[in-house]
């Protein structure tokens, strides 16, 4: 079903079921003396109700399709995760260069020269942050 | 005069060279980043929050406040010149952009600058008189009252920012659930941590904020592929005397409206702008011109915008409950600095409170100087193409999340919330209530559990206490009104449909 409102309702119910389901494993207790599970269960129940109303309501209001573009979000997330992995195992300068070159794949145009310029600027800013503002960046 | 004495004490605090510098820096950086497409006040503050960690408390708060109203103002400049609004300056697009089309950009910018100044000044008078008084009220609040106030905040924010009570409320609840992640304060049980060590202290606020507002916004702009045409027109700033006289009444009206709406739960700049614009449409001497690009259409909303941006600090500092997502971030900044906003704050940290109030007025002057004569230089920011801009934004997101705990794990969290934020965006779910829910969630749980403990599990306490009873009654009215409005809309929609069917069959 490609209907934004309906998908949203389902999505909310899934989140509520996930949090509520896990919460039942914690001690619930009574209202007067509540355990760690009580509050999440109450909130999840409320959220589930909202999700249900949203899903039912979607049949009465205008249908809007879900439009999305897998490529852009995938490229951006890949560049983020790559940045984190490279910074963790090698160093952050390489991470920045990797991020610039991968993330610009999502842009409207691609230019290696421009990417090199951006990367140099960002590395310079990173050095300024490290030395002037005292941020503890593992640059090299 | 107590207030005057306090204010002069505040100016003493704010006028040190160091604090002046932080204020100027905050205003400048805030305006600069606020101007950039796709970065409103929320993302600007979350991007720059980590940078203030190494600054002394007073300076950090002054700088953050400067970033906030600077970003708010920068937003309206981009709205007037190029009609690219963020959520916070939709109204400025209407008459402001019309004035640009007429070639009166300079006049529009001058009007916005001056009105913002008037709005800010009025708001500071309100802030310095109201906040201490409201702080007294704050002492009367019990746990049940806090719960009711937070619930009211959720309802109002949902209604204002998402436009639909149901969607906004859902997001607030998702935020509350995310706030539960981490170690339970009362029992020490680790909840929803999936045995990951870095989740023991809960999910990082900045990770969520940058994921939902930074990364997701970047992808949204990339999806849209809209190319911005930089503004190249001429700017003639100084108005003529009759034009100048037209600014005042609207700006004053907007200031008052903005100051009041800034204090109410769920209030803030956005709703204040709409209200001020509507008021001008009704009461202004030139109401027939509004919508076609006239001074009143810009002055009122700009004044209300800046006034509300400042008075929305009142509930945070006097009662300790942030009323919208931006204030929720501010509260996080206060807490990081070891200050608990609330009724005690004004008494225990008078230097911070009055210093902040005074710095807002100084910031006002900075903004006026920065923006009115220098606006043409600011506009050159738009000549940077988005393909260059977005890797830089991502870089700042990464550095921001990393430097909070010096932990790479936080970047993964940001990536996860980037994906979730993108899903939310594509499903038309506004992330602002989520922020508020996330910050208020732990407080809501704490106060709820305390209230129930005190009443031995009796829900009657929420109704019987006068403050919480009144607040809950307001919520009930809002809900009933929404349900009635929905059914009316459905009936109205099905009625013309039937009308349309009838003639064809007959």
DSSP, residue by residue, chain A: ---HHHHHHHHHHHHHHHHHHHHTTS--B-STTB-TTHHHHHHHHHHHHHHHHHHHHTTTS--------HHHHHHHHHHHHHHHHHHHHS-HHHHHHHHHHHHGGGSS---HHHHHHHHHHHHHHHHHHHHHS-------
Q: Tell me the chain B residues in contact with residue A38 when contact means C-beta distances shorter than 8 Å.
A: 449
Q: How many CB atoms lie within 10 A of CB B108?
A: 30
| ipTM of this predicted structure | 0.90
Mean pLDDT over all residues of chain B? 79
Q: How confident is the model at residue B505 (pLDDT cuts 50, 70, 90)?
A: very low
Q: How far is B457 from chain A (nearest CA, A)?
A: 4
Distance CA A95, CA B330 (A): 31
On whether both A47 and A26 belong to a single domain, the answer is yes
B364-379 tens-digit pLDDT: 888 888 777 777 777 7
Q: What is the nearest CA distance from A55 to chain B, expressed in angstroms?
A: 11
Alpha helices in B158-294 (DSSP H): 165-180, 205-209, 216-224, 241-263, 269-283
Q: What is the pLDDT of residue B21?
A: 87
Those of residues 267-306 in B touching chain A at CB distance below 8 A are: none
Task: Tell me which residue range forms the domain holding A12.
Answer: 4-57
A136 touches B: beta carbon within 8 Å = yes
pLDDT higher than threshold 80 for residue B498: no
**Structure confidence at residue B504 (pLDDT):** 38
pLDDT-derived band at B503, boundaries 50, 70, 90: very low
**Whose CA is closest to B221, among B387, B27, B43?**
B387
Same domain? For A53 and A79 the reply is no
Axis crossing angle, helix B105-138 with helix B350-371, rounded to the nearest 10: 170
Q: Does A50 lie in the same domain as A88? A: no
- Asked if A22 is an interface residue toward chain B (Cβ–Cβ < 8 A), one would say yes
Residue B81 and residue B231 in contact, taking contact as beta carbons nearer than 8 Å = yes
Residue A44 lies in a domain: yes
Residue B190, beta-bridge partner list: B183
Q: Is residue A96 part of a domain?
A: yes
Residue B163 predicted with pLDDT over 80: no
Q: A85 and A32: one domain?
A: no
| Residues B167, A54: C-beta atoms closer than 8 Å | yes
CB-based burial label for B198 (10 Å; 0-12, 13-18, 19+): middle
Q: Are B401 and B410 in contact (CB under 8 A)?
A: yes
Residue A13: inside a domain: yes
A34 lies in some domain: yes
Residue of B177, B227, B403 with shortest CB distance to A40: B177
Whether residue B415 contacts residue A81, with contact meaning beta carbons closer than 8 Å, is answered with yes
Closest CB to A84: pick one of B222, B408, B458.
Answer: B408
Going residue by residue through chain A (140 aa), what tens digit of pLDDT does each one get?
577 888 888 888 998 998 888 888 887 777 777 778 888 888 999 999 988 988 888 887 777 777 777 888 888 889 889 888 988 888 888 888 888 888 888 877 788 888 888 898 888 888 888 887 777 777 77
Provide the H-helix boundaries in B191-240: 205-209, 216-224
Predicted local distance difference test score (pLDDT) of residue B494: 64
Q: Which of the listed residues A57, A78, A93 is the one where a domain comes to its end?
A: A57
Here the tokens at position B463 are 């109704």
Strand partners, A29: A34
Tell how far CA B117 is from the center of its chain.
Answer: 18
Contact A64 B428 (CB under 8 A): yes
Q: Which pair of tokens denotes residue B241? A: 């005397």
Contact yes or no for B222 and A7 at CB 8 A: no
Of A31, A60, A61, the CB nearest to B452: A31
- Domain co-membership, A113 together with A75: yes
Task: Specify whether A43 is located in the same domain as A74.
Answer: no
pLDDT digits (tens, 9 = 90+) for B242-268: 777 777 888 888 888 888 888 877 667
Nearest neighbour of A53 by CB, restricted to B166, B225, B399: B166
Domain locations in chain B as residue ranges? 2-495
Question: Does residue A128 share a domain with residue A91?
Answer: yes
B472 pLDDT more than 80: yes
Per-residue pLDDT tens for B178-235?
Answer: 888 888 877 777 888 777 777 777 788 888 888 888 888 788 878 776 665 656 666 6
Between CA B200 and CA B2 the distance in angstroms is 46
> Is the pTM of the predicted complex or chain greater than 0.95?
no
Query: Which residue of A35, A69, A99 is in closest CB contact with B395?
Result: A99
| A119 belongs to a structural domain | yes
Among A72, A84, A134, whose Cβ lies nearest the Cβ of B222?
Answer: A72
pLDDT band with cut points at 50, 70 and 90 for residue B501: very low
The three-class DSSP label of residue B134 is helix
| pLDDT above 70 coverage of chain B, percent | 91
Is the CB of residue B23 less than 8 Å from the CB of residue B362? Answer: yes
Q: Are B368 and B217 in contact (CB under 8 A)?
A: no
Say yes or no: A74 and A50 in one domain.
Answer: no
Provide the domain count of chain A: 2
Based on the fold, state whether residues A76 and A100 are members of the same structural domain.
yes
Chain A interface, mutation test: which of B159, B395, B434, most A Cβ atoms within 10 Å? Answer: B395
- Of the candidates B187, B412, B423, the beta carbon closest to that of A35 is on B187
Please report whether residue A138 resides in a domain.
no
pLDDT for the residue B208:
86
CA distance A117 to chain B (A): 10
A and B: number of Cβ contacts within 8 A: 180
DSSP assignment string, B374-406: THHHHGGGGGS-HHHHHHHHHHHHHHHHHHHHT
CB-based contact, B491 to chain A, within 8 Å: no
The answer to the question of residue A139 being in a domain is no
Q: Is A33 near chain B, with CB under 8 Å? A: yes
Is residue B18 scored above 50 in pLDDT? yes
Q: What is the least distance, in Å, from the CA of A84 to any CA of chain B?
A: 6
CB contact under 8 A, B394 and A39: no
Residue B187 burial (C-beta neighbours within 10 Å; 0-12, 13-18, 19+): middle
Tokens encoding B58: 């007073």
Q: Which residues of A touch B455 (CB under 8 A)?
A: 32
* CB-CB under 8 Å, B387 with A107: yes
A11, A43, A47, best to mutate vs chain B, most B CBs in 10 Å:
A43
Length of chain A: 140
What distance in Å separates the CA atoms of residue B44 and residue B37, rounded to the nearest whole number?
11
Distance in Å, alpha carbon of B462 to nearest chain A alpha carbon: 13
Query: Does residue A88 belong to the interface with chain B, where contact is any CB pair within 8 Å?
Result: yes
Within the 179-208 window of chain B, which residues sit less than 8 Å (CB to CB) from chain A? Answer: 180, 184, 186-187, 189, 191-192
For A72, the token pair is 């852009």
State the DSSP string of B433-501.
HHHHHHHHHHHHHHHHHHHHHHTTT-THHHHHSHHHHHHHHHHHHHHHHHHHHHHHHHHHHHHHHHHHH
Determine, for residues A54 and B428 on separate chains, whether the beta-carbon distance falls below 8 Å: no
| Cα separation, B469 vs B463, whole angstroms | 4
Residue of B54, B218, B403 lying closest to A76 (CB–CB): B218
Rg (CA), chain A: 23
Query: Are residues B359 and B65 in contact, defined by beta-carbon separation less than 8 angstroms?
Result: yes
**B394 vs A: CB within 8 A:** yes
The two most distant CA atoms of chain A are separated, in Å, by 66
The pLDDT assigned to B231 comes to 62
**Are A78 and A113 contained in the same domain?**
yes
Per-residue pLDDT tens digits for B266-313:
667 777 777 787 777 777 777 777 777 777 778 888 888 888 888 888
Higher-pLDDT residue of B107 and A94 is A94
Polymer length in residues for chain B: 506
**Å between A58 CA and nearest CA of chain B:** 12
* Residue A45 covered by a domain: yes
């Amino acid at each position: 079903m490609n209907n934004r409102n309906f998908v949203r309702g389902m999505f909310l119910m899934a989140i509520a079921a996930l949090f509520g389901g896990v919460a039942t494993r914690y001690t619930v207790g009574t209202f007067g003396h509540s355990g760690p599970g009580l509050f999440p269960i109450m909130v999840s129940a409320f959220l589930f109700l909202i999700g249900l109303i949203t899903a039912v309501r979607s049949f009465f209001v205008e249908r809007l399709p879900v439009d999305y573009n897998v490529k852009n979000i995938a490229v951006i997330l890949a560049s983020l995760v790559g940045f984190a992995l490279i910074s963790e195992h090698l160093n952050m300068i390489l991470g920045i260069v990797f991020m610039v070159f991968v993330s610009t794949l999502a842009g409207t145009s691609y230019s290696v020269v421009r990417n090199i310029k951006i990367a140099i600027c960002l590395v310079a800013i990173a050095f300024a942050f490290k030395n002037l503002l005292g941020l503890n960046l593992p640059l090299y | 005069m107590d207030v005057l004495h306090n204010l002069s004490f505040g100016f003493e605090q704010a006028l040190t060279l160091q604090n002046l510098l932080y204020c100027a820096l905050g205003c400048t950086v805030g305006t600069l980043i606020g101007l950039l497409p796709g970065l409103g006040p929320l993302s600007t503050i979350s991007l720059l929050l980590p940078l203030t960690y190494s600054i002394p408390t007073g300076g950090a708060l002054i700088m953050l406040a400067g970033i906030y109203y600077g970003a708010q103002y920068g937003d309206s400049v981009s709205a007037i010149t190029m009609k690219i609004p963020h959520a916070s300056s939709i109204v400025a697009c209407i008459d402001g952009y019309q004035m640009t089309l007429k070639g009166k950009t300079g006049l529009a910018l001058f009007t916005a600058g001056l009105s913002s100044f008037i709005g800010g000044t009025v708001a500071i008078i309100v802030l310095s008189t109201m906040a201490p008084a409201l702080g007294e009220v704050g002492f009367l609040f019990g746990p049940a009252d806090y719960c009711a106030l937070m619930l009211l905040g959720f309802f109002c924010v949902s209604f204002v920012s998402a436009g639909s009570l149901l969607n906004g409320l859902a997001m607030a609840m998702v935020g509350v659930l995310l706030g539960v992640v981490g170690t339970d304060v009362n029992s020490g049980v680790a909840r929803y941590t999936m045995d990951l060590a870095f989740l023991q202290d809960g999910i990082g606020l900045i990770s969520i904020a940058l994921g939902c507002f930074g990364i997701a916004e970047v992808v949204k702009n990339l999806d849209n592929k809209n190319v911005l045409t930089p503004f190249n027109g001429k700017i003639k700033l100084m108005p003529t005397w009759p034009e100048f006289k037209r600014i005042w009444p609207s700006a004053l009206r907007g200031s008052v409206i903005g100051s009041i709406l800034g204090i109410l739960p769920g209030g803030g700049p956005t709703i204040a702008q709409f209200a001020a614009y509507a008021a001008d449409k009704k009461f202004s001497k030139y109401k027939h011109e509004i919508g076609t690009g006239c001074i009143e259409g810009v002055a009122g909303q700009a004044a209300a915008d800046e006034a509300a941006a400042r008075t929305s600090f009142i509930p945070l500092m006097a009662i300790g409950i942030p009323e919208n997502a931006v204030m929720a971030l501010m509260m996080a900044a206060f807490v990081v600095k070891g200050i608990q906003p609330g009724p005690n704050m004004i008494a225990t940290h008078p230097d911070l409170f009055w210093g902040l109030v005074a710095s807002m007025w100084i910031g006002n002057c900075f903004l006026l100087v920065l923006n009115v004569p220098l606006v043409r230089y600011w506009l050159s920011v738009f000549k940077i193409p988005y393909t260059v801009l977005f890797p830089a934004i991502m870089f700042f997101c990464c550095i921001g999340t990393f430097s909070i705990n010096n932990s790479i794990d936080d970047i993964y969290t940001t990536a996860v919330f980037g994906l979730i934020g993108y899903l939310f965006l594509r499903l038309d779910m506004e992330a602002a209530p989520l922020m508020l829910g996330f910050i208020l969630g732990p407080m809501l749980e704490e106060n709820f559990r305390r209230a129930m403990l005190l009443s031995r599990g009796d829900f009657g306490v929420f109704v019987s206490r006068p403050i919480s009873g009144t607040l809950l009654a307001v919520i009930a009215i809002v809900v009933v009104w929404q349900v009635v409005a929905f059914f009316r809309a459905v009936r109205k929609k099905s009625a013309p449909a039937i009308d349309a069917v009838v003639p064809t069959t007959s």
